[in-house]
Amino acid sequence: MIRKSLMIFAIVSIALVIMFGPGTADAMLSFAPADFIPASDIEEREEFHQTYPLTGNGRVSVENLNGFVHVKVWDRDAVQVDAVKRANRRDRLDEAKIDVYATPESIRIKTVYPDRDQIFTDDEKGRYNNPATVDYTLTVPRKARLESIELVNGSLEVDGAEGSVKASSINGKVSARNLSGETRLSTVNGNLDATFTLLTETSPISLGSVNGNVTLIIPSDSSATVRAGTVHGDINNDFGLDVDHGEYVGHGLNGQIGNGGPRIKLSNVNGTISIKRAQDGKKLSAAVSLQSNKAKQKDKLKELTEARRAAAAQRAQNAEDRLEAQQAAEEQRRATRQLRESQREIQREVEQAIREAQREIERAQREIQLETERQVREMRMENRGFGRGTGRGSGRGEGVGDARLLDRESKSFAVSGQARVNVGTFDGAVTVHGWDKSEVMYTATKRAGTEDELKQIEIESEQQGSTVSIIAKSSQSAGSAAVDVYVPRGANLHVSSDDGQLNIEGVSGRITLRTGDGSIQVSDSKGQLEANTGDGHIRIANFDGQVDARTGDGAIALEGKFTELSARTGGGSITLAVPADSNFTVETNAEAISNEGLNVSEDIAPSPRLKRWRVGHGGQVFVLTTGDGKIVLRNL
C-alpha cells in the first residue's frame, strides 16, 4: 500500500509540473496520503549463524565493505560466525551475500556485492537505495592467526588474540586489546588503539594511521626497540624517551626500552602518537634514546660552517674599522688604496673560509659514506652473564690511517657437551666459524678515534659449563668492535648487532641471528635457523634443515634442503634453489612465480589473496611473502 501510494503521488506531481510549472508540485506536498511513510525508515534485516571446525592455530581472513567486525576468542577448535545484514530495501538485502570458504586449516569470510557502485548517502531520498551493511561477530580459537582482516567502512575490535594479527580499516576506528603476538594494524580515517599483555622478541609490532591518533599500551617492565614518526602531530611516551623535532615539520623518536627486544614501528601523518605504560603495578623499565651518527655529523657540520662564516665576517669588520680610523686628508689617497686592498683581502678571506668549509663538508660526507658502507651505527647492549668467571682479553694498540686507533685481543674456552654461545657487539660485524675442536675461541678487533674512546671499549667474556658469552661494550658508545669466533660445529648460537653484518659458516645447531640493518650470510650449515634484519639482504647457501628468514626491504636467496621454510621481505625478491627431486608446496602472495628447471604446477589456495604452487608431488608448505618483489624457483 505504501509503495503504491508513493508511485501514484510521484506520477501526479510530474504531470502537474508539465501542465502548470514547478511550483504546483511543491504545493502538492500537503496532499500526500496520511499513511505515507518514507521507505528509508523501514529496515529489512536478516541474521546468519554458523560454526566451522578450525585447528587451534589456523588462519582467519575477513573482507567487509560496509559494517563493523568484532573478533573474540575461546578455547575451542572452531570458528563461530554471527552476522546481521541490514538494508532499507529487500532487493538490496538479498544482493549482499556472505561467502564462507572453510577448511580445517583456514577460513575465509567475504561480503560479496553485485558488480555495480556501492555508494552510501545521507540524503533522505537517496538513503532508500543504500547498499546493505553486514556486521560480523567472530569467535575464534585463542591462538588462531588473524591473517587478513580488511574493512572499508566500519570499525574493528579484536580482544584476546594470542596469535599473529594483521588488520586494516579505511573509514573506521581500530581497537585491539590483550594481544601478545606479531601485530600489524593500520587505518586511514580513524583512531588506532592497541594494548599488549606480553612482548616477545620474535613478534614485531607495526601501527599506522593517516588521519587519527595512534595509542600503544605495553607492560611497564617491557623490553623493546621503538621507532616513531609523525608529519603533523605530537609524540609522547611514559618511558622518558626524547622526541626529536623537525626543523619545519615532523617529530621523531628512536629508543630502547629495557634490554631491547621486538621492533616496534609507529607512524602517523595527521595525528598524535602516544606510548603508554599499563596500569599493572610493575616497575617501569629503564629507557635510552638513540641518535644516529648522521644526525651527529649534520649538527657538527652545521656548527662548523656557522663558526667559519662568523669568523670571516668578524675579520672583515675589523679590516673596515682599521680603514675608518685613517682620517687625515693628506693620506686620503693612500687610505683609498688600502681600502681597495683590504676589500680584496676580505674577498680572499671569505673565499678561503668558504673553501675550508667546503672541505669540511666533503670530509664529513666521506666519513658518513664510510660509516654507511661498513654498516656500523650505535648500539647499546646489556649482558646478564652466565656465571662467575669473567674473561677480559688484552692487546697492544697501534695507529692506523686517518688518525684511528686499533687494538686486538683473543681468548679461548674449553667446553664439553653441546656448546651454547652468545655473541653481541654494540657496533661492528660478527663472523662465526664452525670447527672440530671442543673449544670456543674469539678475536675481537677494537677501533676508535682517540685513546680515551679505545679504553672505553671492553670485551666481556664469561663461561658457565658449556655456555659461553662474548659481549663487546662501550660506555661512550664510540668506536667499534668486530668479533671473529670459532665454535664447535654442533653449537647453539645467538648472535646480534644493531647494524653490523653477520656471517655464519659450518655450524649445525640452533642458530638465532639479529641485526638492525646489516646483511646476513649463512653457508655450509644445518639445523634450525632464524635470521632477522631490518633492511639488509639475506643469503643462505648449502643449508639443511628448518629456516625462518625475515628482512624489511632486502632480497632473500635460499639454497639447500629445507624441512620447514618461511621467508618474508618488504620489497625485495626471494630466490629458492632446491634439488630437482624435491617435493613441497609454495604459498605466496605474488601473482606468479618464475620457474627455472623444477616440476611445478598450480594448486588450490586457501584465500583469493594467496597462490599455491606444487613442486614435485607437493607436501610441506613453504611460505614466501614479498611486498613488490618476485619469487624465483631454481634447480640446484
| pLDDT of res. 335 | 61
What is the C-alpha radius of gyration for the chain, rounded to an integer number of angstroms? Answer: 33
Closest C-alpha to 423, from 333, 500, 327 = 500
Judged against a pLDDT cut of 70, whether residue 349 lies above it is answered with: no
**332-373 vs 293-324: helix crossing angle, rounded to 10:** 170
Express each pLDDT in 389-422 by its tens digit: 344 444 444 433 333 689 999 999 999 999 999 9
Nearest to 406 by CA among 394, 418, 397: 397
Residue 419 identity: A
Q: What is the mean pLDDT of residues 21-27?
A: 39
Tell whether the model's pLDDT for residue 34 goes beyond 50.
Answer: no
Residue 556 CA to residue 543 CA, distance in Å, equals 14
Q: Between residues 577 and 394, which one has the greater pLDDT?
A: 577
- Counting every residue written for the chain, the total comes to 636
Q: Would you state the pLDDT for residue 536?
A: 85
Q: Does residue 619 have a pLDDT over 90?
A: yes
- 502's enclosing H/E stretch is strand 502-505
Q: What is the DSSP-derived secondary structure letter of residue 329?
A: G
Confidence at 427, pLDDT banded by 50, 70, 90? confident
Place of cell 634450525: 528
pLDDT higher than 50, residue 557: yes
Distance of alpha carbon 320 from the chain centroid: 58
Whether the per-residue pLDDT at 313 is higher than 80: the answer is no
Between 44-48, 113-117, 509-513, the lowest mean confidence (pLDDT) is in 113-117
- CA–CA dist 287, 228 (Å, integer): 15
Q: Tens digit of pLDDT for each residue in 54-101?
A: 999 999 999 999 999 999 999 999 999 999 999 999 999 999 999 999
pLDDT per residue over 469-485, tens digit each?
Answer: 999 988 777 788 899 99
Residue ranges with strand state E in 212-314: 214-218, 224-232, 235-237, 244-245, 251-257, 263-270, 273-277, 287-289
Q: How confident is the model at residue 357 (pLDDT cuts 50, 70, 90)?
A: low
Q: For residues 40 and 444, give the distance between their C-alpha atoms in angstroms, rounded to a whole number.
A: 76
Rounded Cα distance, 621 and 562, in Å: 11
Q: If 0-12 CB within 10 Å is exposed, 13-18 middle and 19+ buried, where does residue 271 land? A: buried
Quick one: what percent of the chain has pLDDT higher than 70? 75
Look at residue 309 and give its three-state secondary structure. Answer: helix
In whole angstroms, give the CA distance from residue 139 to residue 72: 5
How is residue 578 annotated by DSSP? E
pLDDT confidence of residue 200: 92
- The x, y and z cell numbers of residue 135, run together, are 556486521
Percent of the chain with pLDDT strictly greater than 90: 59
Contact 421, 470 (CB under 8 A): yes
Which residue did the predictor score with more confidence, 63 or 18?
63
Residue 249, pLDDT score: 57
Q: Which of 26-30, 157-161, 304-308, 317-321 is predicted least confidently? A: 26-30
Query: Cα–Cα distance between 622 and 600 in angstroms, integer?
Result: 14
Q: Which residue shows C-alpha cell 560479496?
A: 112
Overall average pLDDT of the 377-395 stretch: 38
Helices (H), 457-580: none
What pLDDT is stored for residue 158 in this prediction?
98
Backbone angles phi, psi at 93, to 5 degrees: -65, -45
Least trusted range by pLDDT, from 349-358, 475-484, 541-550: 349-358
Give the Cα separation of 124 and 419 in Å (integer): 75
Q: Report the pLDDT value the prediction gives residue 152, as an integer from 0 to 100.
A: 93
How many other C-beta atoms are found inside a 10 Å radius of the C-beta of residue 107? 26
Q: Give the three cell numbers for residue 184.
A: 600489524
Whether the model pTM is above 0.75:
no
Q: In 3D, which of 188, 143, 149, 136 has the Cα closest to residue 164?
A: 143
φ and ψ at 356, to 5 degrees? Answer: -65, -40
